[in-house]
Structure 1
Amino acid sequence: MSLKADLTSADLNEIRQSALGAADPLGVAADLADAARDGRLADPQDAGLALTLAAEIAESRSKLDAALRYVDGALEAYGKRDDSPAAGARALRARILFRAGRGDEAFAEIEPLRPLLTQYPDAPAYITAALAVGNRGREAETWLTEAVQEVLAERGATEPADADDAGVLFFLLQQRHRLRHALGRQHDTHDNLAERLETRLANASARAATAPAEDLVFWPRPEFDRLAKQTEVYGATWDEHRARLERELVRLAGTGRADLAVFPGSVDALTRQAGVGGDPVTGENRSAYATTLATGAARIPWPPERNGSCWCGSGLKYKKCCLPRSRS
């Protein structure tokens, strides 16, 4: 099979969600590797991401030699990068080596990543996953526990109010809690804190799913230019405004939200919402106006087709206009 040209990071995320259900997932993996090699990516820096995805697909089909070849290509593409995607690829390599029965090599690959547990929110998941494959659950529990204690010591005695306040601590607690459950451990104070934060996160997500999002109010260019004379809360420029919306839409899609749309705004309507003598750009008025828009009929569905007209009304194709803005 052959993937389309100019693959974006959004395309790669879509492939990640659908590849294992494809008729020929190994063909998808090979095509991803070819796309990275042949320059068929919209952003050449996504080569590591494409090859990591290819390695994950091959690993899922127990094609470990191919998986190792792809992940080595990913690490070569990442070069000296030391960010979370590059670290995730190294953890994947360790996992593949564990599956191949090369435990000593695998542990030598994963052990240097241990300090990243307190740095990246996704590090607890990919490091624990690699150790679990190698039957190193006890080491994983020890690493996570020590990382939790380190972050708690830095925070002081104050308990996080919610998952956002906890930051990377939440992901450490969550991963540790799940691992200990799998190992049959009895709850301790860290497990109890993990459950409290998970409950608060679930409640917040439920509220967010039903609440109108002010961040999805879209100001067409003429309206934005008028509004910009009063406030920059929606962005300093129209390009920044559209980029914010595109990133928020991509984020919401990643949480499983469907039927997404933006709601076109009008400065005159925003002003009427404030009433006589009211300030139209206060947070309270903007929120009330967003609620009004969300319950109305005017909406612009998202996403459009890649080759279709962009949702922002620029007249350009989506793939050449706002689609790349999710990475800006």
Structure 2
Amino acid sequence: MAFKTELTSSDLSEIRQSALGAADPLGIAADLADAAEAGRLADKDDAGYALALAAEIAESRAKLDAALRYVERAVEAYGERDDSQAGAARALHARILFRLGRSDEALARLEPLRPLLTRYPDAAAFVTAALGAGQEHRLAEKWLTEAVQEGLGASGSTTEPSSAEDAGVLFFLLQQRHRLRHALGLQHDTHDNLAERLETRLANAGATAGPAVDLLFFRQAEFGKLLEQFPALSSVFGADWDEHRAILERELVRLTGTGRTGLTVLPGTVVGLTGFAGADGDVADARVRSGYAQQLAGREGQITWPPERNGACWCGSGTKYKKCCLPRSR
């Protein structure tokens, strides 16, 4: 695959969606690393993102030595940044170290990421995934428990959140912890009960407002892989790509009618969804899909909606919006 002279943030996000299904993903990983080091990125701050993506591709092909080289350069490129994206790269570094049998180094890399658990919705997922690679499930449960306790005590009140929206990042911590404890076969405690109450309130709120659709979008090739691997998801995402796009377009129009603005579509991948669910998760669980959508919402690569009528359609078909997905809402 030959890249153009300069890669934008959108280009990198598109590569993320398609690289794992490409004929030569390792070649793409090498090209990404070269683009980052040769200054062929439109935004130099994307260097860490490009290198971390290269590391993920190499890791997916079990080329762990190459993955480690790429991710070490990614972490170096992020420097002192302590946002979610930089944290995800550092967690990836730890995950690869675990897979290489270097557990002590991996844990040393993960420990400084613990404050991110109470700051970013996706931190619980990437920290837990890294610990899972090292079979440190009990430690993951301990860290999540301590983060939940910190989150509950942050307001200085013993009153629990009354809704998932009020809970904020704490909601995702509770979800991740609840799923992990279920996988470990642990008995419910007060935090598990709170997680279930918040999830129930969220589901009831959604039922009152009408059927909600997470704005997860799978490009055509990725959608085919999704239904091939999980046929039952056709009832959620549509029986074919046309129906998938129609479901999203109708939901976007509905949300606009409620006064929502600044809407974006969230391009997902089968690898990303299954990775978020984890070995013991179930992609058929609406809570898993919602959590994955929230993770994507905190990252780059979202597709702004709506496009101009005469502009390229948001689905990536190459056709004008007015002739592609705009009519699907009717």
Which of the five TM-score ranges fits, normalised by the shorter chain?
Answer: 0.5 to 0.7
Structure 1 partner of 2:41: 41
Deviation at 1:263, TM superposition (A): 8.3
Q: Deviations over 1:39-78 (max 9, x none)?
A: 2222111110111111111111111110111011111211
The alignment status of 1:303 with 2:303, answered yes or no, reads no
Report the AA paired with residue 174 of structure 1: Q
Q: Deviations over 1:285-320 (max 9, x none)?
A: xxxxxxxxxxxxx896633879999x8xxxxxxxxx
The alignment status of 1:28 with 2:28, answered yes or no, reads yes
TM-score normalised over the length of structure 1: 0.66
Relative to structure 1, the CA distance from residue 6 to residue 263 in structure 2 (aligned partners, 3 Å threshold; closer, same or farther) is closer
Match of 1:3, SS state, is coil
Q: 1 CA distance for matches of 2:5 and 2:197?
A: 46
Structure 2 partner of 1:262: 306
Relative to structure 1, the CA distance from residue 252 to residue 65 in structure 2 (aligned partners, 3 Å threshold; closer, same or farther) is closer
Structure 1 partner of 2:206: 204
Q: How does 1:59-208 map to 2 (within 5 A)?
A: 59-155=59-155, 156-202=157-203, 204=206, 207-208=211-212
Q: Deviations over 1:264-286 (max 9, x none)?
A: 8xxxxxxxxxxxxxxxxxxxxxx
Structure 1 partner of 2:51: 51
Deviation at 1:160, TM superposition (A): 2.5
Report the AA paired with residue 190 of structure 2: T
Report the AA paired with residue 255 of structure 2: A
Q: 2 CA distance for matches of 1:263 and 1:49?
A: 26
Report the AA paired with residue 262 of structure 1: P
Deviation at 1:104, TM superposition (A): 1.0
Deviation at 1:193, TM superposition (A): 2.1
Q: 1 CA distance for matches of 2:58 and 2:154?
A: 40
Relative to structure 1, the CA distance from residue 201 to residue 59 in structure 2 (aligned partners, 3 Å threshold; closer, same or farther) is farther
Q: Work out whether residues 307 and 313 of structure 2, in 8 Å CA contact, stay in contact via their aligned partners in 1.
A: no
Report the AA paired with residue 185 of structure 2: G
Report the AA paired with residue 21 of structure 1: G
Structure 2 partner of 1:227: none
Most deviating of 48-57 and 193-202:
193-202
Structure 1 vs Structure 2 CA RMSD: 3.4
Q: 2 CA distance for matches of 1:201 and 1:18?
A: 33
Report the AA paired with residue 176 of structure 2: Q
Equivalent in 193, 196, 214 of residue 256 of structure 2: 214
Deviation at 1:170, TM superposition (A): 1.0
Unaligned runs of 5+ in 1: 218-233, 235-243, 265-297, 312-328
Structure 1 partner of 2:290: none
Report the AA paired with residue 98 of structure 2: F
Match of 2:101, SS state, is coil
Deviation at 1:261, TM superposition (A): 5.7
Q: 2 CA distance for matches of 1:137 and 1:123?
A: 16
Relative to structure 1, the CA distance from residue 15 to residue 73 in structure 2 (aligned partners, 3 Å threshold; closer, same or farther) is same
Report the AA paired with residue 151 of structure 1: G
Q: 1 CA distance for matches of 2:135 and 2:51?
A: 26
Relative to structure 1, the CA distance from residue 69 to residue 196 in structure 2 (aligned partners, 3 Å threshold; closer, same or farther) is same
Report the AA paired with residue 204 of structure 1: G
Q: 2 CA distance for matches of 1:143 and 1:194?
A: 16
Q: Deviations over 1:163-205 (max 9, x none)?
A: 3221110111111111112211122221222233334445639
TM-score normalised over the length of structure 2: 0.65
Report the AA paired with residue 14 of structure 1: E
Unaligned runs of 5+ in 2: 214-250, 269-292, 297-302, 322-330
Match of 1:149, SS state, is helix
Q: 2 CA distance for matches of 1:305 and 1:125?
A: 29
Q: 2 CA distance for matches of 1:112 and 1:2?
A: 38
Most deviating of 46-55 and 75-84:
75-84
Q: 2 CA distance for matches of 1:162 and 1:121?
A: 16
Identity %: 64
Q: 2 CA distance for matches of 1:168 and 1:93?
A: 24
Relative to structure 1, the CA distance from residue 260 to residue 212 in structure 2 (aligned partners, 3 Å threshold; closer, same or farther) is farther
Deviation at 1:121, TM superposition (A): 1.7
Q: Work out whether residues 260 and 301 of structure 1, in 8 Å CA contact, stay in contact via their aligned partners in 2.
A: no
Equivalent residues, number: 248
Relative to structure 1, the CA distance from residue 216 to residue 190 in structure 2 (aligned partners, 3 Å threshold; closer, same or farther) is closer
Q: 2 CA distance for matches of 1:82 and 1:10?
A: 22
